[in-house]
Amino acid sequence: MIAIGCDHAGYKLKEFLINALSEKGYEFKDMGCNGERCDYPNIAESVCKEIKSGNCDKGILICGTGIGMSIAANKIKGIRASLCSDSYSTKYTRLHNDANVMCMGARVIASGLAEELAEIFLTTNFEGGRHQQRIDLITNLENN
């Protein structure tokens, strides 16, 4: 299950991704918004809580640039959110950083690219190994 959320700038892209990826078998928990003006930190918190609770495996957050969502999500302990706007970075944020939330900017990337990036994010597994040590170091930073 994937938690997905957006602010008003990301609403159309969120709806597009839910429809396009649901056809491919992905299941979503929609954490809002529904097009109304909203504050992105609240949506980021809702999506991240679903991941932390174990209700969802990964999250997708969308705002105008993706930057605000990534900043807000990364304030939540246990969340590793990454701004994704190209396929290489999206692949490696999963392979090396074990990111559990991807953030995208609806004013920055087109819907076709967003769908491609979401599929890369959702299908790429963490490599572990030497990268786990770095994730552990990040967790230590978070805890201190």
Low-confidence stretches of the chain (pLDDT beneath 70): none
**Closest to 81 (Cα-Cα) out of 105, 63, 58:** 58
* CATH 3.30.460.80 is held by the domain 2-143: no
Q: What is the rounded distance in angstroms from the CA atom of residue 71 to the CA atom of residue 32?
A: 18
- Residue 68 pLDDT: 98
Question: How confident is the model at residue 82, as a pLDDT?
Answer: 98
CA distance 90 to 69: 16
Look at residue 83 in the predicted model and tell me its pLDDT.
Answer: 98
56 as an active site residue: the answer is no
Using DSSP, state whether 122 is helix, strand or coil.
Answer: helix
* Residue 120 pLDDT: 98
Q: What pLDDT score does 75 carry?
A: 97
* Environment class of 133 (CB within 10 Å of its CB; exposed 0-12, middle 13-18, buried 19+): exposed
The structure's pTM equals 0.97
The catalytic position among 33, 38, 63, 84 is 63
Catalytic, 38? Answer no
